[in-house]
Amino acid sequence: MLDAAAPSEEMSPCPTPHRSSASPDRPRSPPASYSWQARTAGRFGVVGLVAALVGTLALGGDLWFESFAVPWIADRVPQAFDTTPTVVLGLGAISSYFLFALGWALYGLASLRARVFPAAICCAIVVGGVLGWRALVPPWGAALGLAIGWLGIWMIRAGTSAVEDVGPAPTDVPIPAPRSAADSQRAAEAAPLPDTERS
């Protein structure tokens, strides 16, 4: 198992020790965290990432529909709820839940296999993904949310440790003095003339 202090540059192209842990180009969300483990996660990691993204988008669409469209339908056409849902509507709901749960479980397994993040966090993401089958019903979505928060805190601490290990930037590097107007004029006069100006 890798040391949890900081991910190595060899395994991950993203966390360089020269960047501040608070810089905006540092990933903090799980899909963006894939860049930390891209080299070691392989194709399985890509499949897990895409499945988690598609599942999250699908479940987000379902949540939006249930939050905004269903109350409107209940107000305007209440008899719609007395009818049997269509096959397409049922498949859409089931596929949303299934893709969300499967996607995050695969992402956690891919992270566990890549061995960049601590195994406990990866296992928590897998468990949260499986419980995410009922993520729209409290409190089943809380497990994945806590696992993702744990991953984010670990990434912040790991990035900070990498910056502290490198230390401050060297200050003894000589910095050339700015040119004066006279130096700029002399350089312009010494420069060879283009062929068009010579003729």
On whether residue 199 sits in a domain, the answer given is no
Distance between CA atoms of residues 92 and 154, nearest Å:
35
Long-range contacts of 66-69 (CB under 8 A, 24+ apart): 66/136
On whether residue 196 sits in a domain, the answer given is no
Q: Flag whether pLDDT at 191 surpasses 80.
A: no
On whether residue 98 sits in a domain, the answer given is yes
On whether residue 174 sits in a domain, the answer given is no
Mean pLDDT computed over every residue of the chain: 77
Residue 180: band (very low, low, confident or very high) from pLDDT cuts 50, 70, 90: low
Distance between CA atoms of residues 11 and 15, nearest Å:
10
57-112 pLDDT tens trace: 999 998 899 899 999 999 999 998 888 888 998 888 888 999 999 999 999 999 99
On whether residue 194 sits in a domain, the answer given is no
Residue linked to tokens 């540059």:
9
The CA-CA-CA angle for residues 18, 45, 38, to 5°, reads 20
Phi, psi of 141 (to 5 degrees): -80, -10
On whether residue 43 sits in a domain, the answer given is yes
On whether residue 36 sits in a domain, the answer given is yes
On whether residue 133 sits in a domain, the answer given is yes
Domain range enclosing 164: 30-168
What integer is the mean pLDDT of 154-164?
A: 76
128 vs 185 pLDDT, higher one: 128
Counted residue by residue, the chain has a size of 199
How many domains would you assign to the chain? 1
Q: Which two tokens stand for residue 139?
A: 């409190």
What integer is the mean pLDDT of 162-169?
A: 55
pLDDT at 25: 39
